[in-house]
Amino acid sequence: MTGPASLDRRRFLGRTALLGGLALTAGPLAACTRTQPGTGAPEDDGALLARLRKQGFVRVGFAGEAPYGFQDGAELAGEAPTLHREVFTALGVRELRPTLTEFGALIPGLLADRFDVVSAGMSITPERCAKVIFSEPEFVSPTALMVRKGNPKGVSDLRSCAAKGATVGVLTAAVETSFAKAAGVPDGSVKALAKQQDGLDALLAGRIDAFALTAISLRWLAKTNRGAAVEVTEAFVPEIDGKRQLGAGGAVFRPGATGLRDAFNKELVKITGDPDRFVGLIGRYGFTEREVPPRSLRTADLCTG
């Protein structure tokens, strides 16, 4: 891998209430922070992990996108919850208590103390690093295109989409919009879509020629729509201003939670440093050794762009 990697990933809002105690939250965010009992001072970082251990659970925010973090029946499933459950169990916190919210509300909800960590495979970007702190990378994922069966436009990446006049679908607020623009796709040929299934449906209806997203997401979408007349191209790495944009996601914490983040990292690297364990935990969600983050890829570098 050459150059720093960055990728903005969007999640969509699940419309159904969660089962088995998984709470769907709604309404305005309360601007609050947890304080120390009796003093009203902000909770110090050392107290946070101790409190989580004492109460036996950690509150996690997720946004309902498979295969990163989603509801599977009554279970909180996906890449991030599976890894985070393993990490927090090792830290002495055995239960993840989930809150489902819109992707765009995850960071505001975290800052408003609605949850303690974002468990959604959120990508590490400089813009987000200015507001919150990230773990070291949990995974990497390049970009791909979903196209109609037979790939009638003959596209292989976003530059070929621009060259062949293809209309490209992207998720609203996703960085694939920036990738497409950098590749030369005209603004009028980029169509924003609310969620993954909308992309596949628009493709089949002929409203778009290609749907750009992470390779992992598109492989999962094709799997869950088995029989649909679509295919996923080989993954590629977009560039912006000559810099390769390989996705890297991680857990997200409030700015003051450095102690919790550091403890989390110590356990996380035991997983990402062992490809067999990594694949054993999240291989069922489509993650392979290709998605194991290299040791040389550091959050500090991703945060500087």
Mean pLDDT of 64-85: 94
Domain ranges (residues) in the chain: 23-140+246-304, 143-244
CA gap 285, 219 in Å, rounded: 10
Task: Assess contact for 152 and 166: CB atoms under 8 A.
Answer: no
pLDDT digits (tens, 9 = 90+) for 133-185: 999 999 998 899 999 999 999 999 999 999 999 999 999 878 899 999 999 99
Task: Assess contact for 171 and 36: CB atoms under 8 A.
Answer: no
Tell me whether strands 95-100 and 57-62 are parallel, antiparallel or unpaired.
parallel
Task: Assess contact for 245 and 175: CB atoms under 8 A.
Answer: yes
Please provide the CATH number assigned to the domain covering 23-140+246-304.
3.40.190.10
pLDDT digits (tens, 9 = 90+) for 87-139: 999 999 999 999 999 888 999 999 999 999 999 999 898 999 999 999 999 99
Same fold, 23-140+246-304 and 143-244: yes
In total, the chain counts a number of residues equal to 305
- Write down the pLDDT at residue 140: 93
- Write down the pLDDT at residue 95: 98
CA gap 21, 107 in Å, rounded: 23
CATH architecture of 143-244: 3-Layer(aba) Sandwich (3.40)
- Write down the pLDDT at residue 42: 53
pLDDT digits (tens, 9 = 90+) for 34-44: 554 433 445 55
